[in-house]
Amino acid sequence: MRTPNTKCSICGKPLYRRPSEFKEGREFCCAECRSELYKRRQPSPNLKLGRQKGLIKKGHKNTLEEKQKRAKSVKLFYQKHSEVAQIRGLKIRGVNHYNWKGGISKLQLAIRTCAENLKWIKSVLKRDNYECQICKSTKNLEVHHKIGLAKLIKDYNIKTLDDARNCEALWNIDNGITLCKKCHYKIHGKKYED
């Protein structure tokens, strides 16, 4: 153990601090008194000025109105400048994406999670009036491919996600039908349990 060279400024307990720390001209305290020391310290003049001007809001959380206002302005910006959204999308797609791991995800998963598939699902649901086409239920809805996704990929020789985006048969809403989870399980021959 090192020889103490200073004392805690609150309780007087002997402490060791590196010689370089003395140059900073700080107060020293033990771990037990640290919270008390922070309470005693005054905020810096820059922090006070920032709070007065409203630049730094301590503990500020955005309200629902602020979030909605920001979302609305961002949406309007991208509606007016659609080319910016397209360029931004290309910059973060594929190899350029920050989470790229060398193309290890399977093609079917990539197709099912892309934005075009979400649009296809929404358009099929809208066309079918948001109800199951077998039992007319409106709960736990899913969209079923009449011609399976794997068959479409094989028939149209789709090798990449860009090939899938350009294939019109993949995004044809006549190939989809809205079903509840229970009916969807029946079609695939599975047993449904609540």
The beta strands (E) that lie in the chain are given as: 6-7, 14-15, 141-145, 176-180
Domain that holds residue 133: 107-187
Tell me, yes or no, whether 167 lies in a domain.
yes
* Position 118 pLDDT exceeds 90: yes
Mean of pLDDT values over 113-121: 92
Tell me, yes or no, whether 42 lies in a domain.
yes
Mean of pLDDT values over 14-41: 82
Tell me, yes or no, whether 112 lies in a domain.
yes
The mean-pLDDT minimum among 97-106, 146-155, 181-190 falls in: 97-106
Of the two residues 187 and 22, the one the predictor is more confident about is 187
Measured distance CA(123)–CA(126) in Å, rounded:
5
Tell me, yes or no, whether 165 lies in a domain.
yes
Number of structural domains the chain divides into: 2
DSSP structural state of residue 156: T
Locate 89 and state its tokens. Answer: 């999308």
Q: Model-level pTM? A: 0.49
Q: Do residues 48 and 111 share a domain?
A: no
**Structure confidence by residue, pLDDT tens digits, 28-87:** 888 888 888 877 777 777 766 666 666 555 566 778 898 899 999 989 998 898 888 888
Tell me, yes or no, whether 71 lies in a domain.
no
Measured distance CA(176)–CA(167) in Å, rounded:
15
Tell me, yes or no, whether 168 lies in a domain.
yes
Locate 80 and state its tokens. Answer: 């007016």
**Mean predicted lDDT score pLDDT of the chain:** 85
Report pLDDT for 50: 65
Determine what percent of the chain is predicted with pLDDT higher than 70.
90
- Which residues does 41 contact at the CB level (< 8 Å), separation at least 6? none
Nearest to residue 127, comparing CAs of 178, 93, 85, 61? 178
Report pLDDT for 54: 61
* Position 175 pLDDT exceeds 60: yes
Report pLDDT for 143: 94
* Position 127 pLDDT exceeds 60: yes
- Could you tell me the sign of the dihedral formed by the alpha carbons of 70, 71, 76, 78, in that order? positive
Measured distance CA(126)–CA(145) in Å, rounded:
16
Tell me, yes or no, whether 99 lies in a domain.
no
